[in-house]
Structure 1
Amino acid sequence: MVDKSPLTVIGIPCDVRMIDIHPFHAVGEKYIDAIAHGASAVPMLIPCFGRGRDLEPLEDVYAIDDLLDRVDGIFLPGSPSDVHPHHYGNGEPREFTMLDTQRDTLALPLIRRVVERRIPLLAVCRGIQELNVALGGTLHMVLDEVDGLMAHRVGKSKPRDEQYQLLHDIDVVADGTLHAITGLGHYRVNSVHGQGIARLAADLAVEATSPDGLIEAVSVRRAPVMQLGVQWHPEWRFRERAYDRALFAAFGAACRGAVVPSPGA
């Protein structure tokens, strides 16, 4: 018998990537896989806002609320690009920085509206950085230049399996959302990021840190639903780790209406 129950739909903002000579709005397969098979939901890819090479602004046709009316949750994926530093008062980017201003144009106001409307949210890597910036926090532009921090990636030239190896432990805050989901006080994660949270937004609470004190996970304070960001990549081969399976399962459940509240809710 075919299940006729409504399908859970999770929106995923795209990156803008150049493929040959054409810009494409795209999301990595590993994110789509984790949302479909880990969260048991339909991934709905959301094209970026802003003016593109071949694109007039989509926000002239529909608004963020029109998108949010059609989804049960939002997943913010990682990306090789960084949030433009002018969004958090750091001026111009470094020469080697990859930017995606069209994703910025969509993601930052989208996050603010998701928080206001109390829609379930899971943010990964660039996603947690977008979450912090959207709510008023700042970022370390180059972690390698921050005194006292360990290496948080092994290098982009390495094979994928080596880049995504479990690199360091995290300490999980007791009684937080992440602890409630995983049941763990610490565990080992991969680490593939060159930026990180500097000043935490006032509306966010720390959920986990790395051994050097860098913030690795956050939640939205007093959110009545799951609104969580993590700096690592739980989607990478998530089936191999019970705690990452639990994270996506909890997100899917939150999008279906189960309550996974943040601290202080």
Structure 2
Amino acid sequence: MSRPVIGITCYVEPAQFTVWDMTTALLPYAYVEHVARAGGQPVIIPPAGDPAELAGRLDGLIIAGGGDIDPARYGSTAHEQTGYVRKFRDEAEFGLMRAALEANLPFLGICRGLQVLNVALGGTLHQHLPEVVGHAGHSPAPGTFGRVPVRLSPALAEIYRDDRLLPAHYHHQAIDRPGHGLEVTARSEDGTIEAVELVGHPFALAVQWHPEADEDGPLFDALLTAAKRDD
């Protein structure tokens, strides 16, 4: 039986490799490893052309982490700490997100991916979380994951086989008002929304933490199970 094809969105940023220094479509390889380990065929999707056209050719979709969404998309002006906005990536991923939902494509949002899902469904974001919760534990230092405890809903606890988790966090933004149809399925101890699911969708789950940073990957396993069922 062929492996389900799982699309993963990616960054477009300046990068250095071997003797080159140039603009590059790139993705942390841990995403690829988790999808392959779970039984999928990972395919990296750059924000070029019209990625929404790919929705019908995929068995599942991951919208990966990245910079902040343009606040104009949810009716706000930019906070001074809002950064790494890539409007071309917003345009590509919001189109792909809409196409994926319309096609009932199994979907996993990771960090930025949760925020794309939320804003696409009419929700809003806290642009700088430390001002809301009073600490920087969700993003303690550049290039350093924070470990903030979260409490899981019964449905999400079934995936993790536990109702409490200490996952890897690296985000300074989070959901303020949830989008239409989203159910909150995890919160951190400071009240931050850490996971949501789209009610009525076969499998549309998004988390604010970085599951690819850990060796075990039950969320990737769950995505592949849904993709195989949908195949």
C-alpha deviation, 1:36, in angstroms: 1.4
Match in the other structure for 2:140: 154
Q: Residue 147 and residue 71 in structure 1: after superposition, are their counterparts in 2 closer, same or farther (change >3 A)?
A: closer
Match in the other structure for 2:191: 213
Task: Give the Cα separation in 2 of the matches to 1:22 and 1:128.
Answer: 29
Secondary structure of the corresponding residue to residue 78 of structure 2:
coil
Query: Which one of 212, 218, 227 corresponds to residue 235 of structure 1?
Result: 212
Secondary structure of the corresponding residue to residue 256 of structure 1:
helix
Match in the other structure for 1:99: 85
Match in the other structure for 1:192: 170
Match in the other structure for 2:24: 24
Secondary structure of the corresponding residue to residue 43 of structure 2:
strand
C-alpha deviation, 1:149, in angstroms: 6.0
Matched residue type, 1:78: G
Query: Which one of 161, 164, 180 corresponds to residue 145 of structure 2?
Result: 164
C-alpha deviation, 1:23, in angstroms: 2.1
Q: Structure 1 residue 116 and structure 2 residue 102: aligned?
A: yes
CA RMSD of aligned residues (A): 2.0
Q: Residue 96 and residue 183 in structure 1: after superposition, are their counterparts in 2 closer, same or farther (change >3 A)?
A: closer
Describe how 1:118-157 pairs up with structure 2 within 5 A: 118-147=104-133, 151-156=137-142
Describe how 1:44-63 pairs up with structure 2 within 5 A: 44-49=43-48, 58-59=49-50
Secondary structure of the corresponding residue to residue 14 of structure 2:
strand
Task: Give the Cα separation in 2 of the matches to 1:147 and 1:208.
Answer: 16
C-alpha deviation, 1:44, in angstroms: 0.7
Query: Which one of 8, 33, 39 corresponds to residue 4 of structure 2?
Result: 8
Match in the other structure for 1:42: 41
Q: Residue 28 and residue 258 in structure 1: after superposition, are their counterparts in 2 closer, same or farther (change >3 A)?
A: same
Q: Residue 183 and residue 19 in structure 1: after superposition, are their counterparts in 2 closer, same or farther (change >3 A)?
A: closer
Task: Give the Cα separation in 2 of the matches to 1:84 and 1:219.
Answer: 23
C-alpha deviation, 1:246, in angstroms: 2.1
Task: Give the Cα separation in 2 of the matches to 1:246 and 1:47.
Answer: 25
Q: Which runs of 5+ in 1 are unaligned?
A: 50-57, 240-244, 260-265
Q: How many residues align?
A: 227
C-alpha deviation, 1:95, in angstroms: 6.3
Identify the structure with the greater strand proportion.
Answer: 2
C-alpha deviation, 1:214, in angstroms: 0.7
Matched residue type, 1:9: V
Q: Which runs of 5+ in 2 are unaligned?
A: none
Which sits farther off after the overlay, 230-239 or 208-217?
Answer: 230-239
C-alpha deviation, 1:94, in angstroms: 2.7
Task: Give the Cα separation in 2 of the matches to 1:227 and 1:149.
Answer: 30
Secondary structure of the corresponding residue to residue 130 of structure 1:
helix
Whichever of the two has the greater Rg, that structure is 1
C-alpha deviation, 1:25, in angstroms: 1.7
